[in-house]
Chains A and B, each alone.
Chain A
Amino acid sequence: MHLALFIFFAGLCVAGALNLLLQRHPINSALSLIVVMSSLAVLYLLLGAEFLAAAQVIVYSGAIMVLFTFVIMLLNAGKEERTHGSKLAYIAGFPGAAALLGLLTFIFLSHRTEFGQARLGEYLATTSDLSRVLFTDLLLPFEVTSVLILIAILGAVALARKEH
């Protein structure tokens, strides 16, 4: 059951990502990105990270992607035109991507025993476990990150403010 769900949503995720690249209309690409993010949320749920899954849907599929579609609608962006792409991308891009993929696969395969196996549907990190860790062991990084986000908000406000 869990394996079937995993295969279905992993496939949906990859298909959404490919569709995102291949679509020519920005709003279709944005919608494919929503599919990718929602299926990632299901994968988190299968791995037992329930709070992360809910936060993924609320923050990414719900808030951030709504802003994306909002901007696309406001700008009324039309279809993109296809270009032939730069030569550099053909020469360096494909071998580079292939090399990176090969390297990652090699590292993961050679350290397979240390990483251990993901247990689908057997492990559950409840929200209270997560918050206990966040507010005891990881309190400093947590607070520092929130201050960082606050600085980013202040920066955005300062940039967007009209000069008098």
Chain B
Amino acid sequence: MDTTLIPFLLINLAKVIVVVVIFLMSVAYTVLLERKLVGRIQNRWGPSRVGPFGMLQPLVDGAKLFLKEDLMPEAVYRPLYILAPIIALSCALMSISVVPFGADIRWHGVQLFQISDNNIGLLILLGITSVGVYGIALSGWSSNNKYSLLGALRASAQVISYELALGLSLVGVVLRAGSLNLRAIVGVQATHGLLSWNFFGGFQFVAFFIYLMAAYAETNRSPFDLPEAESELTAGYHTEYSSMKFAMFFMAEYGNMITVGCVATLLFFGGWTSPFGTLLPQPHSAVLVALLSIFWFVVKVFFFLFLYIWVRGTLPRFRYDQLMGFGWKFLIPVAVANIVVTSFCIGLRLPPQ
């Protein structure tokens, strides 16, 4: 045991560092993508001055946020005011640890494209999501500012309500796979390419739309971005935050967006598998297989990020009572109906015992 402990820790540390660096870089470039795309939607250029096509803008923004003065308002409750952004960001970073990015490729027995492959990956994701709300709730309360508090109350109520719809929408997928392991869920969808994905062949498109709407509400993104509705609440729960503390909330929000994209890809769109299934000739070299699986995964996640930004640029914000009514009176009953229909179909297909 002790002889393998040190290499185990070192290998996992290396994996964590690589994943965190790539994750934070993609967060930075998602922000740029959003600014560019929203710019195009609103018929303007977006950032275009720093580097070719504004490609160096995220680095400059990061440097700016590091160098800004970190204000500490007088009336805040200090321990929680400092703890809140840390909780938000660490939950966003933790949830990426169970996501498999590519095919099950091992190098000397080390899984290359996933930090932790475990039986209850999906439940861990849900658990981290449900803990993540503390970051927002505590930031609003500890800021001692009425706009922050209102934003935080809205955010917690919204996240708790939509968590139910989110969890229920995933049950159909879990029923089809018979497992909570994310690799097993992708494995079920890997047989016939596009046709065996849960979205098309599995008839889980209802579940997918419920998941998508609930996930938009969970990440406080438009059209459910009431917690930071700037016309009513200045900036919502992070009104009192500046410099890196603000940046941590910002990174957490975009990190959660990426995680939601990854989970939607894994659960409904076949993860890293190719949409053409076995129609195309299969590559023989292991390196090519690895690169192709990463390629398909990134393309699908990119599609979801694009969708996020597109929705933000297109739809107006919900009213608060509409938001709650939509979650409780529409999404949850539909999700329950989806579970009943899916389990009925699976029950019909089972051989009689």
Q: What is A's interface to B at a CB cutoff of 8 Å?
A: 1, 27, 31, 34, 38, 50-51, 53-55, 57-58, 61-63, 66-67, 69-70, 73-74, 126-128
Contact = CB atoms under 8 A, between A and B. Distances in A.
Contacts of B140: 73
A54 to B, nearest CB: 4
Contacts of A63: 130, 160, 163
B149 A54 contact: no
Contacts of A128: 178-179
Contact of A66 (B5, B80, B118, B137): B137
Contact of B180 (A31, A67, A127): A127
Contacts of B1: 1
Main secondary structure on chain A at its contact with chain B?
helix
A34 B134 contact: yes
Contacts of A55: 123
Given A1-B1, A1-B5, A66-B156, A27 B127 contact: no
Contacts of B234: none
B126 interface: yes
B60 interface: no
B153 A73 contact: yes
B152 interface: yes
B158 to A, nearest CB: 12
Contacts of A73: 137, 140-141, 149, 152-153
A58 B153 contact: no
B337 interface: no
A74 B130 CA distance: 20
Nearest to A54: B123
B50 interface: no
B176 to A, nearest CB: 14
A30 B121 CA distance: 27
B130 A57 contact: yes
Contact of B160 (A50, A51, A61, A67): A67
B161 to A, nearest CB: 11
Contact of B126 (A50, A58, A74): A58
Given A73-B137, A73-B140, 12 more contacts: A1-B1, A54-B127, A57-B131, A58-B123, A58-B126, A62-B127, A66-B130, A66-B133, A66-B134, A66-B137, A70-B153, A127-B119
A40 to B, nearest CB: 13
Contact of A62 (B119, B130, B141): B130
7 contacts: A27-B80, A50-B119, A57-B127, A62-B131, A69-B134, A69-B141, A74-B153
A43 to B, nearest CB: 15
B324 interface: no
Contacts of B133: 62, 66
Interface string B52-92: 00000000000000000000000000001000000000000
A125 to B, nearest CB: 10
Contacts of B11: none
Given A66-B156, A67-B160, A127-B180, A58 B120 contact: no
Given A1-B5, A126-B119, A69 B127 contact: no
A153 to B, nearest CB: 13
A61 B127 CA distance: 9
B138 interface: yes
Contacts of A69: 134, 137-138, 141, 156
Interface in B209-244: none
Nearest to A62: B130
Interface string B139-174: 011000000010011001101100100010000000
B124 interface: yes
B64 to A, nearest CB: 32
Contacts of A51: 120, 123
Contacts of B131: 38, 57, 61-62
Contacts of B178: 128
A75 to B, nearest CB: 11
Nearest to A59: B130
A54 B124 contact: yes
Contacts of B159: 66
